[in-house]
Structure 1
Amino acid sequence: MHFNEIPLLFVLIGLVLYTVLAGADFGAGFWQLTAGSGERGERIRDHAHHSMATVWEANHVWLIFVLTVFWTAYPTAFGSIASTLCVALFIAAVGIIFRGAAYALRAGTETAREARTVDLVAALSSILTPFALGAAVGGIASRRVPVGNAAGNLITSWLNPTSILIGVLAVATSAYLAAVYLAADAARLGDRDLEQRFRMRALGAGLAGGAIAMGGLVVLHADAHPLYDRLLAGTGLPALIISVLAGLTTLGLVWVRRFEPARYTAALAVAAIIAGWALAQRPSLLPGLTIAQAVAPHETLVAVIIAVLAGAAILFPSLGLLFKLTLSGRLEHGEDKGDNQDKQRPAHQGQIPIQITPARAALSPTARPGLSIRLAAACLIMGVGFLTFAEAGWAHLIGVVALLGFIAIGFVAVAPGEVAEQGTADVQDGRLG
């Protein structure tokens, strides 16, 4: 990998995370729309809303991340894409706004009719947004976005066979991801009826998504033949195989009700599709514009890489904690209830005896802060040096790894002692088990 491609790797990682996480959010809206009427339909809509309510807003962090990094690192390509595909991107933005507004307004509804109206708006937005974003990707993949300010057709650039295929596939994969995640949530809550309903939806959506993808190869052969060749006989083939295997594995896991591992294999199947497209498109970004030609100056890339890695040190732990609390059900209980449970718990219950050995004490984050600070400083100097002054690809890789080490070691070095003490107290109290 060349240094010029590192920001693009960040963009693809962000795109995968947005597709996997926000895609499930949009897919939940699809199931709200198709839930039907009556009490069972209301239960499906309520479950979909409740499961996504704690994370839907955080999921859109990745879209902002993708746009910011791509704009900064590859400004020519970004300007061409944003101007030619402005209609599709505007539709997607409107859908995101209406989806978010519906989430916020649903809590204030007073009648069943108001709730159904809000759910309808959210559901329609949840279909419109992934379709528009997928159609925009289809325009890029089928080479309908030329270099220049609005140089391509504002309509046919995203309304064409490949764009429609990828837009429909985006809706199908969103529904597929959501059904798997919602089945897992229902199983965790012990609701066998909802578990079975979303299990069947996951199986149906998975089969439908696979059929659309396989049938779409015919469309790609006719409308985007270079992409078709590189997917089936070029660099994109390994990712395509991984996607198929992960999809089949997910269907098997859902069939036997192993929903937790199915979450990850479903995400892998979707991520592999994006990776396959990226590998098939490489090294071109747009017709006549390679990655090397589109990239920003070297100093800008260094600043972007450092900023992304530094931001990751804050973002990933925060989102990790959010998803951990959500998946464990900790956010479903009020503070008062949790406090009462702590008060009623016997002092000895759930405690784990921890022996503080000399080795454990030596490895404590607060045991030798001076050494941690020196190691962090060394990693920072090495990372900036390799990224700034070296030209070889292996040197840039070492620079990125060194900066990651700086972030990890630096966080440990400056973390207050109370954090470590609280973590030990949580383990002793059984709250992290």
Structure 2
Amino acid sequence: MIAGVIAVVLLLAVAAYACAGGTDYGAGFWDLVAGGAERGERPRRLIDHAMAPVWEVNNVWLIFVLVIMWTGFPVFFQRAFTAMWLPLALAAVGIVLRGAGFALRKPARRPARRRLYGAMFALSSLLTPFFLGAAVGGVASGRVTAATTASADAWANPTSILFGLLAIATTALLGAVFLAADARRFAAPELDGYFRRRALAALVVVAILAVVTLFVTHGDAPHIWHGLTHGVGLVFVVVSALATLATAWLLIRPSGAWSRVTAAGVVASAVLGWGTAQRPYLIPTSLTVAEGAGAPTTLRWLGLVTLVALVLIVPAVALLYWLDTRGELEGLTDADLRRQGAGDEG
């Protein structure tokens, strides 16, 4: 029972990271394709301005996922990281490089260094979600077993490649939707239209890839396919499809209100659908939740620590997002500093 509860918490944490962290990866994707220095200046300035207050906190969910995995499901952790060490190592390097690139490109004074750090940030934002998605696809297709060694087949297969492409497309969708909303908040209507058009294009790509993935899993990952077309998994697939239609409708409307919620619903429902489709397995047909779980005492303590962490972290993160969306975390401008200096002199 406790193992099942912890597995649900793990799945919810993965969904949270897919939505929150995916937004940042998507912003990096649009940074990559924004064009040259002159053409891409305004979109990149919006990306920097929108990401700066919140981008680092989104990695909290990734840390949460890793802690639950290695503490609550050590057998699963060992098998997954043994078979998938290469794509996961590349993803980890990408996370470090994109963070360094984002932090260093703005204060860099030389144009060549700014371009180097910008390319590091943008390319890592493309490669990191792909490798994370490819690793998930390898697990979902059942290619990770007790006898599996690190090999390209574990993550370079049809399901893995499609999961990786879906990860890129969904992060691009989230990034464009959130940036369009930020453009409206910053009173930049031309950038609102710019990112809305890209969000609609990404939404079409996500829908096409989702349909292709469903057909491919029929032969390459039959357990996942059955789970996605029956029971609770099918419910989440339908919810994701409805959220896709709602997102398209909201992006076409002038206000675009609630498009962030529905876009996050597309991604979260897809992740939850994949997780429930695997039931009762952590690795389809070879490792159940009960078999991969740690000792009951460890799980009970993990559950208690998780509850305390959620009570402390979730309200703080929610407050941060609330303050950011209302412009309360905006940095001081030169005009603000001049006004403050004049007030001090008076």
TM-score, normalization by structure 2: 0.93
**Match of residue 267 from structure 2:** 270
Residue deviations 1:321-377, cap 9 Å, x none? 221221111111439949979x99xxxxxxxxxxxxxxxxxxxxxxxxxxxxxxxxx
Matches of 2:119 and 2:35 in 1, distance apart? 12
RMSD between superposed Cα atoms in Å: 2.0
| Local SS of the residue matching 1:156 | helix
TM-score, normalization by structure 1: 0.75
Choose the corresponding residue for 2:311, options 310, 313, 324. 313
| Local SS of the residue matching 2:282 | strand
Q: Are 1:239 and 1:276, in contact at CA under 8 Å, matched by a contact in 2?
A: yes
Choose the corresponding residue for 1:253, options 225, 246, 250. 250
| Local SS of the residue matching 1:37 | coil
Higher radius of gyration, 1 or 2: 1
Matches of 2:105 and 2:139 in 1, distance apart? 36
Matches of 1:168 and 1:174 in 2, distance apart? 10
Matches of 1:233 and 1:9 in 2, distance apart? 19
Report the more deviating stretch, 211-220 or 186-195: 211-220
Q: Are 1:144 and 1:152, in contact at CA under 8 Å, matched by a contact in 2?
A: no
Letter in 2 for 1:251: A
**Match of residue 330 from structure 2:** 332
1:69 aligns with 2:99: no
Matches of 2:107 and 2:174 in 1, distance apart? 28
**Match of residue 203 from structure 2:** 206
Shift of 1:282: 0.5
Q: How does 1:284-363 map to 2 (within 5 A)?
A: 284-286=281-283, 287-334=285-332, 337=336
Residue deviations 1:186-231, cap 9 Å, x none? 0011101111100101111111111111122222122112211221
Stretches of structure 1 lacking an aligned partner (at least 5 in a row): 345-433
Q: How does 1:142-153 map to 2 (within 5 A)?
A: 142-147=141-146, 151-153=148-150
Matches of 2:337 and 2:108 in 1, distance apart? 28
Q: Are 1:236 and 1:277, in contact at CA under 8 Å, matched by a contact in 2?
A: yes
Stretches of structure 2 lacking an aligned partner (at least 5 in a row): none
Matches of 1:41 and 1:328 in 2, distance apart? 26
Choose the corresponding residue for 1:178, options 172, 175, 184. 175
Choose the corresponding residue for 2:236, options 223, 232, 239. 239
Matches of 1:296 and 1:215 in 2, distance apart? 36
Q: Are 1:134 and 1:167, in contact at CA under 8 Å, matched by a contact in 2?
A: yes
Matches of 2:258 and 2:121 in 1, distance apart? 29
Letter in 1 for 2:63: I
Residue deviations 1:31-79, cap 9 Å, x none? 0111112533111112112211221111111111001011111111111
Q: Are 2:2 and 2:300, in contact at CA under 8 Å, matched by a contact in 1?
A: no
1:92 aligns with 2:91: yes
Q: Are 1:76 and 1:147, in contact at CA under 8 Å, matched by a contact in 2?
A: no
**Match of residue 130 from structure 2:** 131
**Match of residue 45 from structure 1:** 44
Residue deviations 1:76-129, cap 9 Å, x none? 111111111111100100100100110121132113333222111111100100
Letter in 2 for 1:315: I
Shift of 1:153: 4.1
The size of the alignment, in residue pairs, is: 340
Matches of 2:133 and 2:336 in 1, distance apart? 44
Matches of 2:119 and 2:332 in 1, distance apart? 29
* Aligned CA distance change for structure 1 residues 302 and 327 (closer, same or farther; 3 Å): same
Choose the corresponding residue for 2:278, options 265, 274, 281. 281
| Local SS of the residue matching 1:332 | coil
Residue deviations 1:232-275, cap 9 Å, x none? 13431000000000011011001103434110111011001111
Matches of 2:67 and 2:28 in 1, distance apart? 27
Q: Are 1:7 and 1:70, in contact at CA under 8 Å, matched by a contact in 2?
A: no
Matches of 1:52 and 1:188 in 2, distance apart? 14
**Match of residue 220 from structure 1:** 217
Matches of 2:118 and 2:66 in 1, distance apart? 28
* Aligned CA distance change for structure 1 residues 321 and 233 (closer, same or farther; 3 Å): closer
Matches of 1:338 and 1:296 in 2, distance apart? 55
Letter in 1 for 2:210: A
Matches of 1:85 and 1:114 in 2, distance apart? 33
Matches of 1:293 and 1:118 in 2, distance apart? 44
Matches of 1:259 and 1:111 in 2, distance apart? 38
